[in-house]
Amino acid sequence: MATPETEIVVGDPTAPADNSPPVVSTRTVEIVVSLLLLALAGLLCFDNWRTGIAWEADGPQPGYFPFYLGVLLAAASLYGLVTSLTTRIGAAHIFLTRDQLRRVMQVFVPTLLFCLLTQWLGLYVASLLLIAGFMWIIGRIALWKSPSTSSCRRGRSKRPWATRLVPRTRSSQRSCCKGGCELRVQKGALES
């Protein structure tokens, strides 16, 4: 049994450095988010007011409840905005550093490109490129291994929408991709 003085520290070798310059403070993010939510609440209130917010003989008009939800959202946004402007606590706190922003963009930009490329290349080809790109750039796997590993599967299915990723046993992990995964048709997925 470990003594109370013993401390085990596990670090992420790819974690951003502590001395990375700040990009934005917590206070700035809170103000921007409060303003965006206030604008959304104003749009919701206006649109539902245009639809109708009165109470008729047979009940409320279509915009009655959504209008008041927009009013509640506007009130909460104003509270958050006033709180952010009057307190100086968030100004000293760093919300995002340059290294953290770089790590977020490493995932966001390829995912955005994946969504755009899906329209022209299809889901399967775009998924292959996304997974291969992540393996190559973030995983630091050789470029020639990435597409072959991300497209590896043992059998072809006549119904590709009925496949799912299934972990294999340890004894069969030496074959195909060395990752221990294969695509199998899910039993009973598409019974006629």
pLDDT at residue 63 is higher than 50: yes
Distance CA 172, CA 183 (A): 14
Average pLDDT over residues 70-84: 96
Q: Please, are residues 84 and 34 in contact by the beta-carbon 8 Å criterion?
A: yes
- A 10 A CB-CB count for 45 gives 20
In 98-160, DSSP assigns E strands to none
Q: Please, are residues 14 and 82 in contact by the beta-carbon 8 Å criterion?
A: no
User: Strand 59-60 and strand 181-185: pairing?
Assistant: unpaired
Length of the chain: 192
Give 130-188 pLDDT, tens digit per residue: 998 888 888 888 888 777 776 665 344 455 544 444 444 444 444 444 444 444 444 44
Distance of CA 10 to the CA centre of its chain: 25
Distance CA 36, CA 174 (A): 52
Q: What is the pLDDT of residue 171?
A: 45
- A 10 A CB-CB count for 149 gives 19
**110 DSSP assignment:** H
Average pLDDT over residues 18-40: 92
**Distances 154 to 40, 135, 169, 188 between C-alpha atoms, Å:** 49, 20, 15, 20
Distance CA 25, CA 23 (A): 7
Residue 167: strand pairing partners: 181
**177 DSSP assignment:** G
pLDDT bracket for residue 15 (50, 70, 90) = low
Distance CA 139, CA 132 (A): 10
| Buried b / exposed e along 154-174 (16+ C-beta atoms within 10 A) | eeeeeeeeebeeeeeeeeeee
pLDDT at residue 92 is higher than 50: yes
